[in-house]
Amino acid sequence: MSDIVPIRTALISVSDKSGLVEFAKALAARGTKILSTGGSAKMLREAGIAVTEVSEHTGFPEILDGRVKTLVPQVHGGILGKRHDPSHIAQMAEHGIAPIDLVAVNLYPFEATVARNAEFDDCIENIDIGGPAMIRSAAKNHEGVTVLTEPSHYARVLEEIDAHGGTTLSTRRSLAAAAYARTAAYDSAISSWFAAQLGESYPDRFSFSGAKKQELRYGENPHQSAAFYTSSPARFGVATATQHQGKELSYNNYNDTDAAFECVAEFDEPAVVIVKHANPCGVATGTSTAAAWDLALACDPVSAFGGIVALNRTLDEETATKIVTIFTEVIIAPDATEGAKQVLAAKKNLRLLTTGGVPSPTQEGMTFKSLAGGFLVQNRDAGRVTAEALKIVTQRAPTAAELEDMLFAFRVAKHVKSNAIVYTKNRATIGVGAGQMNRVDSARIAAWRGKEAKLDFTGCAVASDAFFPFADGLEAAIAAGASCVIQPGGSIRDKEVIEAANKAGIAMVFTNMRHFRH
């Protein structure tokens, strides 16, 4: 028995009408009878294509404002009937059910309706019922039926018809798998929306889906495979980026680039962030991105080699000229001038990404982390400390300049792996200590790196992502030259830490907000 299935009858009912007329014309030219519904049938008829309305084919009219039009035996029997089962063939003949060989269906735009903040009832009406039912039926019976859920599938099917007189089993199985993935993603979007409407951040069953944007060369290491998937709702960043030059991004490139862009989005002034291995090694704001670059690079020029650079403004020619003086893997920015692109063109391996915007640091959302046998879900760390929320706990209050530097440092610390210590001066990092097992080492390493770069720590600000459990971490920061400190507070030894600050004559404020990043 041949695995080739000729396409004698096709049912077409699509919301996304991209390429619809061309596809239907090609099928009709190859002798395929076309069944269709509603807007799809109207569009095809206006294009001069012979179409049979589904209601005419079934002898049953569309009812309930179109909610019921394909949920009838003449449609689902024609899709689900086994082509080589004598019993099925006999039953179909008895009930006047004609086989349907191809189902081209894409779904009501539920996700797009939700994305435009439509009213509840509008969202409900954009939940497709007949579409998913036909898709799932056709996918189940893929041995005899071809199912298409995306306009991108059309060309492949036409090529097979021309080459073989029908579709092959391998293609039908591939399209069936894609069909079930699509209906799963659709149902996931609906269930997530319903949970949000009910105020359930963590429902009993949690599902999420993504669309593959790119299969990567490998994962964190060459022996690991990887791919990049995009999800909704949209957020400016690597998912919205256009790559202008350079080789494909790796798994680590994506991870580090995302970290850099999320960090640079924290600042309203022109800012530059340099990231290496997911941690900022230089962060600064300035009167321009070119000025901010100089300050960010000065923090740790050794680690910046081979790093990722993020800007929160359009990349201009002056800044691009400065960046290319050192080896850089990726530059990500909302946009880039033609002059900047020309400068970077000389560096063939440097990737330039433009995103169209900057993500909001306070935007709500979810993050995920896999564990053995499951995954953790939490809402994104969208917390932001303001000057009004700070509690001064020392005898000396910070000056206005110190307050600015402390808030700047704490925003950077939010994006540094715990335990995190960040020294800043004049709204630029001068030392970053990341990922140490104790806070004292983070404080010492951050100071050592900054002083290796010959930066002046006298009168600097220091931020800690979590409280100092003992006074020793604070004392290490004071020894480095800090004159003010910002930290969450909340340790059982806060009194001891405050006393150490008062003894040294520095100012200290509590945020009552922690920024662990693991």
Active site residues: 140, 277
3-state secondary structure of 338: helix
Question: What Rg do the C-alpha atoms of the chain give, in angstroms?
Answer: 30
Please give the Cα distance from 74 to 59 (Å, whole number).
9
Q: Closest Cα to residue 462, out of 449, 451, 473, 453?
A: 473
Q: 320 in helix, strand or coil?
A: helix
Q: What is the number of other CB atoms lying within 10 angstroms of the CB of residue 427?
A: 21
Whole-angstrom Cα distance, residue 436 to residue 430?
Answer: 18
Distance, in Å, from the CA atom of 37 to the CA atom of 62, rounded to the nearest integer, reads: 9
Nearest to 9 by CA among 33, 37, 42: 33
Task: Tell me how far apart the alpha carbons of residues 426 and 97 are, in angstroms, rounded to a whole number.
Answer: 78
d(CA 28, CA 33): 7
Task: Name the CA dihedral angle for 127, 129, 131, 137, rounded to a multiple of 10 degrees.
Answer: 140
CB 387 within 8 A of CB 403: yes
User: Phi-psi bin for 502: left (phi > 0), alpha (psi -120 to 50), beta?
Assistant: alpha
Q: Which of 56, 57, 33 is nearest to 44 (CA)?
A: 33
Phi, psi of 143 (to 5 degrees): -60, -30
**Encoded tokens for 97:** 């059910």
Beta-sheet pairing, 52-53 with 33-36: parallel
The torsion region of residue 489 among left (phi > 0), alpha (psi -120 to 50) and beta comes to left
Cα three-residue angle 256-416-410, rounded to 5 degrees = 135
State the DSSP string of 58-78.
Answer: HT---BTTTTBSS-SHHHHHH
